[in-house]
Each structure stands twice: as C-alpha cells, then as structure tokens.
C-alpha cells in the first residue's frame, strides 16, 4: 500500500539499516494495556488529534520484535514514531482491530475452544473442551470422540496475547536494544476524527454594567476509540497535512484556554494550550471541559446601524423604521495582577440577568481569537427600542457615472437609558462627503462612520451631502 505520510526520520533510517542486517531469530515481547503509563491527547480543530503514549516494560538486549497493543484503532500508521533510550527502530507494521466475530472465529479454526451449554433446570453452565472444525453456516465441533453439528450452546474462544483488545490496533516493531532492563518508551501517532471548539456563556447585568463569563472547550470524538484518564491539550495555528501527493490541506486550529494551574506555551509560532490534567472521552462522545470563569467584568453596551441608505439611482427615497444591532464589548483582562491568556475564537451566548424573574436570552455571536488586553465584541441581534429611519432628500446627476445626494438618518431611543449608536455607511467607487451636520470618520476606503448618543425618549438626525463617482 502506498504511504500517504512520512515516517519519523529515525524510523526511515532504521528501515535502510534493516535491509543490510543479517537474518536471525529475534526475541518477542507483547506490551498490552498494562504497560500504558500515561497518554496525552492533543486535539486540533479540524478533524484530527495527536496521541502520545508512555509505555513502560521489560526490554531485553539485542534484536527484538515488540508488539504494542491497545493502540487506537483509527491510527494513521505512517505517522507512528517510537522513541526510547538506546533503542533503534528497524521496521514497523500494524495489525488492525479484530472486533469482527467472524474474523475471531476464523482465527480459532482448528484450535481448542470451550463448548458451553446451560442446564435449563438449574441455570448452571457446563463446559468441555472442543476443537472448532467449521464455522459456516453454523459451528461444527469435535468434542471427545463425537462430532457436534448443531451444538445446543455457545462457543467460547480463548484470549491469547495475539488477540488485540476490541476497538484497538496492534503495532509490531523490529527493534535493536543496546541494554537490557525495564524502561519507558514513547509512542506518538495521529488519529483522525477528533475536533474541538470554544463556547462561552455570558450573564449580562445591565444595572451594574458587568458580565459574568464562563468558557468551555468542547471536544468531539468522532473516532471509534475511547480515551480514559488522558491529559487533554489543544493547539492554535494553521497545521498543514499532506493527504495525497500534491494535495496539502490546512487544518485551522483555534486557540484554547487553560485552567489556573497550567499556562499556554508558544511552540514554533503555534500555541499549545493545556486544558485538563485528566479527562475521559468515549467514542462518539462530545465532552465539555470548563476552562474560564470570570465575574464582574466591566462591559460597554452600544448599538450599531449598518448601511441605513441605498446610494444607487434605483434605491427608494425612504427607509422605514428599523431596529439597531445590540453590541456588548469588554477587554480581555483578568482581575488584579492575574495573567490573562488569549481567548480562543468561538460562539458567545448572552443571557440578561433579571433579579426578580427568569433570565432572558439576548442572542449569540461568533467572536474572534482575542489576545491579552484585546477587545471582545459580541453583536447580538436587532432590538426594538433603539434604531433608525432614513430618507434621500435630494438627488443630482453630474454625469453618467457621477451624482450628488443628500440623506437624512434619524436615530431614535425609546428606552429608559442613553443609547450610544454607531452608524456605518458604505459607498461604492470614489466618494466624498462635502457637507454634514455631524462629523464622520473613515473606517476604511469604502465606509463612513458617525457616532451619536441619543437620550431616553429622544431622537437625533444626521444629514449629509455625498458625491459619488463609479466606473470610468
């Protein structure tokens, strides 16, 4: 089978050396689940994970065939790397999971099994040794001096060191060990089917102008493998993986956060974030791990109006009343002198605190990755009490591609608190605002921005002339 990825450099060098090595009998060892000392699960956002296992067992001196069992069944075998002190890897192969009952029966053909039948009167099991002769369409057994064709019981297969655990694979390494004794070996490999994302729950107290923020790292295990008591990490960065020759796919990995006892580390431009020292994730499970808990964060509430008018000739002359977008913003800073890790990109859901009634869901937004000290902004949806209506008051054609237009935008606040409103209007081509009753700023080459504070139960208007030239 053609390799899709590249083995570790140590493995490649060892394969070349193996070709020149003289043939000889090698001692064999099987390391099962009992040799697994620790497992680190590092999850990337777009569909895969890196597994690092520490195995401890007896390694004799000289040539050795070491079979390592209870490896994740979905392993990318070409990614496997085995490292250890004074151990050289000569070759490697993989034995797939034997979880198919038919495959297990085939492996037991001609071997001694247990024939078990249950006494219908007492409910006790009685077993006797048998040889499995045929498995299709029904098992045929030799028991003593007789042949059982329709045996009224069940067949129990013996578990041997060659039988992998259900749902696991087995790696077979050819090793050269320079010293004998019990020692740790480190096994690393990639596993597809896992991903993670960040989610936030914010409780907004309008009276205090504060939010309480909780953050979760959600890890989805879409593989067929379960992981118990693993150390969980996630990675930030754009990690490229080669899936086929000439086809490079960038797996976008968002940043995650860390509990108080663990800090993020910068690794060659990427960022590694420990999440939990011990967590279990079953196959097919989505696990939520708490990573952020902050209270009394000062928050700024504002409203945003986007493109309230149309500037083309075919646009209407009047835009009726419409609500503005509610926005909440706060700085990513921990209280006091506590360090503040970056906040990963994710979905923030905001509830409004109601002291005498049930809390109220205000909306949700996808936030960007935010470094320490950066501003987090969540735009939550359109409200009713704050908004605008607009009119085009005049239109002048200057040429086929140029015009001058006068607009009026009326901002209203029917609420009980002052409303800070930002109006952002985009213009095509080349444009100039040459007269206005409120000063604008340019967000970029296509967007003008006005800001106003509207008192409760009040209205205010922004009127301006703009000259627009499109085309040539």
Give 104-161 as a 3 state SS string: HHHHCCCCEEEEEEECCCCCCEEEEEEEEEECCCCCEEEECCEEECCCCCEEECCCCC
- Find the helix or strand (DSSP H, E) in which 103 lies: helix 101-107
Predicted confidence at residue 337, as pLDDT, reads: 63
Predicted confidence at residue 10, as pLDDT, reads: 39
How far is it, in rounded angstroms, from Cα 80 to Cα 441? 56
* Dihedral over Cα of 329, 335, 337, 340: its sign: negative
Predicted confidence at residue 22, as pLDDT, reads: 44
Q: How many residues does the chain have?
A: 472
Kindly state the average pLDDT of the residues 232-254: 55
Report which of residues 391 and 373 the model is more confident about. Answer: 391
CA dihedral 305, 377, 345, 244 (to 10 degrees): 30
Q: How far, CA to CA in Å, does 452 sit from each of 354, 376, 379, 411?
A: 28, 22, 18, 9
Predicted confidence at residue 102, as pLDDT, reads: 65
Q: How many CA atoms lie within 13 A of 74 on its CB side?
A: 18
**Cα-trace Rg, the chain:** 34
Predicted confidence at residue 159, as pLDDT, reads: 65
CATH 2.60.40.1170 maps onto the chain at 301-324+381-469
pTM of the model: 0.70
How far is it, in rounded angstroms, from Cα 76 to Cα 269? 25
Report which of residues 96 and 344 the model is more confident about. Answer: 344
For 137-146, 296-305, 392-401, 436-445, which range has the lowest pLDDT when averaged over its residues? 137-146
Q: What is the mean pLDDT of the chain?
A: 83
How far is it, in rounded angstroms, from Cα 5 to Cα 398? 63
- Decide if pLDDT at 249 tops 80: no
Predicted confidence at residue 129, as pLDDT, reads: 93
Q: Is residue 273 very low, low, confident or very high in pLDDT (cuts 50, 70, 90)? A: low
- Find the helix or strand (DSSP H, E) in which 19 lies: helix 9-20
- Decide if pLDDT at 97 tops 70: no
The closest of 316, 400, 42 to 189, measured between CA atoms, is 42
Burial class (CB in 10 A: 0-12, 13-18, 19+), 52: middle
Q: Which CATH architecture has domain 301-324+381-469?
A: Sandwich (2.60)
Kindly state the average pLDDT of the residues 348-353: 96
pLDDT in tens, 154-170: 888 876 544 545 556 78
What backbone phi and psi angles, to 5 degrees, belong to 410?
-105, 120
Kindly state the average pLDDT of the residues 199-226: 93
Report which of residues 21 and 125 the model is more confident about. Answer: 125
Q: How many CA atoms lie within 13 A of 203 on its CB side?
A: 11
pLDDT in tens, 41-64: 999 887 899 999 999 999 999 999
Q: By the 8 A CB rule, do 166 and 148 touch?
A: no
- Decide if pLDDT at 255 tops 70: no
- Decide if pLDDT at 149 tops 90: no
- Find the helix or strand (DSSP H, E) in which 9 lies: helix 9-20
How far is it, in rounded angstroms, from Cα 415 to Cα 322? 15
- Decide if pLDDT at 339 tops 80: no
Q: How far, CA to CA in Å, does 238 sit from each of 45, 247, 253?
A: 10, 16, 6
Residue corresponding to tokens 């390494």: 173
What lies within 8 Å, CB to CB, of 314 at 6+ separation is: none
Q: Is residue 472 very low, low, confident or very high in pLDDT (cuts 50, 70, 90)? A: low
Predicted confidence at residue 338, as pLDDT, reads: 67
Predicted confidence at residue 407, as pLDDT, reads: 97
pLDDT in tens, 422-457: 999 999 999 999 999 999 999 999 999 999 999 999
Predicted confidence at residue 103, as pLDDT, reads: 60
For 6-15, 159-168, 206-215, which range has the lowest pLDDT when averaged over its residues? 6-15
What is the DSSP code (8-state) at residue 184?
Answer: E
Kindly state the average pLDDT of the residues 368-394: 94
Q: Is residue 245 very low, low, confident or very high in pLDDT (cuts 50, 70, 90)? A: very low
Beta strand extents in 32-122 (DSSP E only): 36-43, 48-59, 62-72, 76-83, 87-95, 112-118
Q: By the 8 A CB rule, do 292 and 342 touch?
A: no
What backbone phi and psi angles, to 5 degrees, belong to 60?
-75, 165
Q: By the 8 A CB rule, do 226 and 71 touch?
A: no
Tell me the two tokens of residue 128.
């006797």
For 131-145, 255-269, 339-353, which range has the lowest pLDDT when averaged over its residues? 255-269
Beta strand extents in 178-317 (DSSP E only): 181-192, 194-205, 210-221, 227-244, 247-253, 265-267, 270-281, 286-298, 300-306
Q: Is residue 254 very low, low, confident or very high in pLDDT (cuts 50, 70, 90)? A: very low
The closest of 300, 221, 235, 233 to 269, measured between CA atoms, is 235
Q: Is residue 250 very low, low, confident or very high in pLDDT (cuts 50, 70, 90)? A: very low
Kindly state the average pLDDT of the residues 34-39: 93
How far is it, in rounded angstroms, from Cα 462 to Cα 454? 12
Predicted confidence at residue 98, as pLDDT, reads: 45
Burial class (CB in 10 A: 0-12, 13-18, 19+), 44: buried
The closest of 169, 205, 9, 179 to 77, measured between CA atoms, is 169
Residue corresponding to tokens 């990963």: 344
3-state secondary structure of 96: coil
Burial class (CB in 10 A: 0-12, 13-18, 19+), 114: middle
Predicted confidence at residue 21, as pLDDT, reads: 41
Most confident of 6-20, 64-78, 182-196: 182-196
């Amino acid at each position: 089978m053609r390799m899709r990825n590249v083995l570790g450099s140590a493995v490649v060098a060892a394969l070349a050396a193996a070709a020149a090595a003289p043939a000889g009998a090698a001692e064999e060892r099987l390391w099962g689940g009992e040799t697994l000392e620790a497992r680190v699960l590092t999850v990337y956002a777009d569909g895969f994970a890196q597994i690092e296992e520490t195995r401890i067992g007896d390694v004799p001196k000289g040539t050795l065939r070491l079979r390592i069992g209870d490896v994740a069944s979905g392993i990318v075998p070409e990614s496997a790397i085995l490292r250890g002190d004074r151990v050289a890897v000569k070759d490697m192969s993989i034995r797939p999971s034997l979880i198919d009952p038919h495959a297990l029966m085939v492996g037991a053909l001609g071997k001694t099994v247990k024939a078990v039948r249950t006494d219908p009167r007492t409910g006790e099991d009685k077993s006797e040794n048998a040889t499995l002769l045929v498995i299709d369409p029904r098992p045929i057994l030799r028991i003593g001096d007789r042949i059982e064709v329709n045996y009224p019981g069940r067949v129990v297969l013996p578990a041997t060191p060659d039988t992998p655990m259900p749902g696991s694979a087995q790696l077979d390494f050819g090793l050269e060990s320079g010293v004998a004794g019990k020692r740790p070996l480190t096994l690393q490999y990639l596993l597809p089917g896992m991903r993670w994302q960040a989610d936030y729950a914010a409780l907004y107290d309008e009276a205090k102008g504060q939010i309480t923020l909780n953050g979760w790292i959600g890890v989805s295990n879409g593989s067929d493998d379960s992981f118990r008591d693993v150390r969980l990490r996630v990675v930030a960065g754009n990690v490229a993986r080669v899936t086929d020759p000439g086809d490079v796919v960038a797996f976008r990995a968002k940043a995650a956060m860390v509990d108080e006892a663990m800090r993020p580390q910068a690794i060659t431009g990427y960022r590694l974030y420990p999440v939990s020292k011990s967590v279990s994730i079953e196959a097919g499970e989505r696990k939520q791990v708490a990573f952020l808990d902050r209270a009394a964060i000062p928050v700024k509430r504002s409203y945003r109006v986007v493109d309230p008018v149309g500037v083309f000739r075919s646009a209407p002359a009047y835009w009726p009343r419409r609500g503005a977008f509610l926005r909440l913003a706060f700085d990513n800073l921990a209280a006091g002198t506590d360090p503040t890790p970056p906040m990963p990109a994710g979905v923030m859901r905001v509830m409004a605190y109601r002291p005498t009634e049930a809390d109220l869901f205000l909306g949700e937004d996808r936030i960007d990755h935010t470094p320490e000290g950066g501003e987090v902004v969540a735009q939550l949806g359109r409200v009713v009490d704050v908004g605008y209506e607009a009119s085009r008051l005049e239109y002048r054609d200057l040429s086929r591609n140029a015009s001058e237009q006068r607009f009026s935008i009326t901002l209203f606040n029917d609420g009980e608190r002052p409303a800070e409103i930002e109006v952002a209007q985009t213009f095509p081509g080349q444009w100039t605002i040459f007269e206005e009753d409120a000063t604008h700023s340019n967000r970029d080459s296509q967007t003008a921005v006005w800001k106003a504070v509207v008192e409760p139960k009040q209205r205010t208007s922004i009127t301006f002339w703009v000259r627009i030239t499109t085309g040539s």
